[in-house]
Chain A
Amino acid sequence: MAHTATAADTHHDAHAHEHHGPQGILKYLWSTDHKMIAMQYLFTGIAMGLIGAYMAYVFRMQTAFPGVNVPGFGQVSPGEYNSLITNHGTIMIFWVAMPVLVAAFGNFLIPLMIGADDMVFPRINRLSYQVFLLSAIVLIVSFFVPGGGFGGAWTAYPPLSAVAEYNQTNLGSSLWLLAVALEFVAFLLGGINFITTLMNSRAPGMRAYDIPLVCWMIVIASILFMLSVGPLIAGAVMLFFDQTLGTGFYDPARGGDPVLWQHLFWFFGHPEVYVVLLPAIGITIDVIATFARKKVFGYKLMLYTTVATGVLSFFVWAHHQFIAGIDPRMANVFTITTLLISVPIAELCFVIIATLYGGSIRLTTPMLWALAFMAEFLIGGVTGIFLGASGADIYFHDTYFVLAHFHYTFFPIAIIGTFAAFTYWFPKMFGRMMNDTLGKIHFWGTIIPFNIIFIPLFVLGIGGEHRRIYNYEHFPELAGEGMFMLRQIATVALLVMLIFQVVFFYNCYVSWKKGEKAGKNPWKANTLEWTTESPPPHGNWPEGLPNVYRGPYEYGHPDRKEDYWPQNQPS
């Protein structure tokens, strides 16, 4: 019956076309299959993540041991230091969190979870990845051009970013901006696909409230991205013209306004936090429902709360300008909205706790990651309250307190959330189970050092340590022995954490080669992606797309012998 569907028929053209496409490595680059594109995004994101981690290693060594000859890099000059911290931030947010959480898992999960054979626009999807790859290449090229990579921080505030005499990286800053702009184009194309696919390609019988929450979250995140990215692209074009054509949009001497950039940047920049947060929460709730063997507490509540978060996220951006000289009345409004947005987020946490309550919890590796996400993200959220209050922010602004705060939000989102999703869907992606013991070693080897890295940074921030400083020995009040010891503790913990990542890659390799065969549904989960082969064949369900008879979280139903009830089973 599903084969009579019009939506499915139009896709088959694109697929049939693909089989005659180029062979060899080009076959992968020119694939329109959503699973292949998801893998491309995933591996590109992981590769960029390794580059970002290497940068963190280099500048943390310089911060903790000023002037040290960093193994694998050498002496760090001030310009290089600035370039490293700038590109670490840019890469981790735009080339790791976004492609992995939104693009890779969005591409992999949305068609499989809603019972479609592919995205609605497979070729736009392919173009999206190609533009993304190009943007990554442009960014990497920008490190090696004369003058070095851009060093004006990932927020790129003018006039530092706009005037080459200030930032000393004429070509590097333009290429950096170009790479970011290309990356936005890639995600615009991807986001159009996600939203349209969720609207139009759902399996027969799947109603709005039968869609797994992770799909909803990725789509709501895409909507947020679509609606917030425009002003930043406008601002980026203006900045690009300031850099290359010599216009004066951000130059106060010529009638421009540097604070304008901050508004345009953060109008996107703050919703962006929620763009990456929502998929991570969605992943967490799906993993937790599966391993607590319990229906999600309040599906609709969760969905509406997410929408509320999305709406509120447009009202908070100016809290980044509390000390940039904005009107105090405006600061007041944004303080209130910023504190308000913690309400829906807290609600999401309570929903997750209520889902766990009374469940028969299985502490598998993905479940550990999902629980760790909640615990660590909570610390990030609570410390955000200090910064959201405009009065307290005058002190905390630009200290390591801010840095530790947003690492406590972004690390759980981008790293812990990704590991939860990766370990959970690894059987579906590669057809084999991951080694659980190695997975747990990797888990504890990441979580414990993570806290040891960033808790000292909170202390340092309260002590007044400013961000983005090349050598603290030049600042007597920040160069005390105690402060340096805290810095060194954080850096050593970082090294430990990086070493433990080797376990992860070893585990991936071993499991991919020799892991136990996973079968269709190793976790006994309900959602549709577990009803097809692992890994799913071309077209996802060659024998016909599934029908949907119930919601995605029917675990532990009293009338049934088994504790799960797949969405596609008639009874």
Chain B
Amino acid sequence: MSAGSVAYQMEQRPEPVRRAPLVSSGLLGMLIFIFAEVMFFAGLISAHTIVRAQTAGALWPPYGQPRLPVEQTAVNTAALLVSGIVLLLSWFAFRREPSSARIPLALSILLGGFFVYAQGTEWVALLGEGLTMQSSTYGGFFYLIVGTHALHAVGALAALGWAWARLNKGLLTETQLATVAAFWYFVVLVWPVLYIQVYL
């Protein structure tokens, strides 16, 4: 032990220099936050799985509750996924020439906005058909899971809008775009999982 430790000290170290961070602080912080968010949605999915198993497959959706609009939501899902791809394109455009990212970034925000709007109209229709948070755990989980995702989507869209405004002023940095985009990718990629879990 002691011999080993002495050898370790004798080792010649290079003169200390400040290293560039492995991952920029903003992106790293966002990634840690996304990890926590993934676990949050994992908790919701687990809860949903257990309660769904409890009521036995045949009774899901429970008697008297409306069926969820699977097809219409599939269209919304596609819009959201395309938004994610467009954002990826805007990222590559930004790396080439920052100002060229304006249009794809705006398009991505619009597609995301369409998703939130379409989900909102779907909610209004379902509420009219008698599906509420109190009517059954089926409805409760639907509004809980889709609602928390919608909240995240709105937050992420606001962040993308902020990035777009900064881009127009020529102030947006690569780290800022990466940070904001990482959160939008999270919102986009978690949705198909939720869609399969809740709708199908």
Tell me if B199 counts as interface (CB < 8 A to partner A). no
What distance in Å separates the Cβ of B200 from its nearest Cβ neighbour in chain A? 19
Tell me if B13 counts as interface (CB < 8 A to partner A). yes
Q: Is the interface of B mostly helix, strand, loop or mixed?
A: helix
Tell which of B43-51, B82-90, B93-101 binds the partner: B43-51
Query: Is B28 within 8 A of A230, CB to CB?
Result: no
Could you tell me the distance between the alpha carbons of A4 and B20 in the complex, rounded to whole angstroms? 12
* Given contact pairs A193-B29, A227-B39, a sample of 20 additional A-B residue pairs in the complex whose CB atoms are under 8 Å apart: A5-B18, A6-B20, A120-B29, A121-B29, A191-B32, A196-B29, A204-B18, A205-B13, A230-B40, A231-B46, A232-B43, A234-B41, A249-B137, A254-B137, A255-B51, A255-B55, A255-B136, A256-B51, A547-B16, A550-B13
Q: A121-B25, A199-B28, A264-B47 are in contact. Are A231 and B16 (CB under 8 A)?
A: no
What distance in Å separates the Cβ of A422 from its nearest Cβ neighbour in chain B? 29
Query: Is B62 within 8 A of A255, CB to CB?
Result: yes
| Chain A residues closer than 8 Å to B41, beta-carbon distance | 230, 234
Tell me if B17 counts as interface (CB < 8 A to partner A). yes
For residue B145, which residue of chain A has the nearest CB?
A234
Tell me if A337 counts as interface (CB < 8 A to partner B). no
Could you tell me the distance between the alpha carbons of A210 and B187 in the complex, rounded to whole angstroms? 38
| List of 6 A-B pairs having minimum Cβ-Cβ separation, nearest first | A205-B16, A230-B39, A231-B43, A234-B43, A230-B40, A204-B16
Could you tell me the distance between the alpha carbons of A140 and B176 in the complex, rounded to whole angstroms? 39
What distance in Å separates the Cβ of A195 from its nearest Cβ neighbour in chain B? 6
Query: Is A233 within 8 A of B40, CB to CB?
Result: yes
Query: Is A549 within 8 A of B16, CB to CB?
Result: yes
Tell me if A548 counts as interface (CB < 8 A to partner B). yes
Which one of A4, A124, A230, A232 contacts B37 once the chains associate, using CB atoms below 8 Å? A230
Could you tell me the distance between the alpha carbons of A214 and B84 in the complex, rounded to whole angstroms? 41
Tell me if A29 counts as interface (CB < 8 A to partner B). no
Q: A229-B36, A247-B133, A255-B51 are in contact. Are A234 and B44 (CB under 8 A)?
A: yes
Tell me if A7 counts as interface (CB < 8 A to partner B). yes
17 contacts between A and B (CB under 8 A): A120-B29, A196-B32, A204-B17, A205-B17, A230-B38, A230-B43, A231-B43, A234-B40, A235-B47, A246-B134, A249-B140, A254-B136, A255-B62, A255-B136, A257-B50, A548-B16, A549-B16
| Chain B residues closer than 8 Å to A366, beta-carbon distance | none
What distance in Å separates the Cβ of B196 from its nearest Cβ neighbour in chain A? 18
Could you tell me the distance between the alpha carbons of A97 and B154 in the complex, rounded to whole angstroms? 35
Tell me if A192 counts as interface (CB < 8 A to partner B). yes
Q: A229-B39, A231-B39, A260-B51 are in contact. Are A200 and B32 (CB under 8 A)?
A: no
Contact with B along A211-246 (1 / 0, CB 8 A): 000000000000000111111111101100100011
Query: Is B140 within 8 A of A247, CB to CB?
Result: yes
What distance in Å separates the Cβ of A406 from its nearest Cβ neighbour in chain B? 24
Tell me if B121 counts as interface (CB < 8 A to partner A). no
| Chain B residues closer than 8 Å to A230, beta-carbon distance | 36-43
Tell me if A554 counts as interface (CB < 8 A to partner B). yes
Query: Which of the four size classes fits the interface of chain A?
Result: 35 or more
Query: Is A195 within 8 A of B28, CB to CB?
Result: yes
Within 8 A of B (CB), among A503-559: 547-551, 554, 557-558
Query: Is B134 within 8 A of A247, CB to CB?
Result: yes
Could you tell me the distance between the alpha carbons of A238 and B39 in the complex, rounded to whole angstroms? 15
Query: Which of the four size classes fits the interface of chain B?
Result: 35 or more
Within 8 A of A (CB), among B136-155: 136-138, 140-141, 144, 148
Query: Is B22 within 8 A of A226, CB to CB?
Result: no
For residue A4, which residue of chain B has the nearest CB?
B18
Could you tell me the distance between the alpha carbons of A191 and B25 in the complex, rounded to whole angstroms? 13
What distance in Å separates the Cβ of B181 from its nearest Cβ neighbour in chain A? 18
Q: A248-B137, A549-B16 are in contact. Are A188 and B42 (CB under 8 A)?
A: no
Tell me if A479 counts as interface (CB < 8 A to partner B). no
Q: A248-B137, A249-B51, A256-B51 are in contact. Are A237 and B36 (CB under 8 A)?
A: no
| Chain A residues closer than 8 Å to B92, beta-carbon distance | none
For residue A8, which residue of chain B has the nearest CB?
B18
For residue B14, which residue of chain A has the nearest CB?
A205
Query: Is A195 within 8 A of B32, CB to CB?
Result: yes
Tell me if A499 counts as interface (CB < 8 A to partner B). no
| Chain A residues closer than 8 Å to B21, beta-carbon distance | 7, 199-200
Could you tell me the distance between the alpha carbons of A520 and B168 in the complex, rounded to whole angstroms? 50
Contact with B along A251-271 (1 / 0, CB 8 A): 000111100100110010000
| Chain B residues closer than 8 Å to A203, beta-carbon distance | 16
| Chain B residues closer than 8 Å to A199, beta-carbon distance | 21-23, 25, 28
Tell me if A297 counts as interface (CB < 8 A to partner B). yes
For residue A232, which residue of chain B has the nearest CB?
B43
| Chain A residues closer than 8 Å to B6, beta-carbon distance | 558
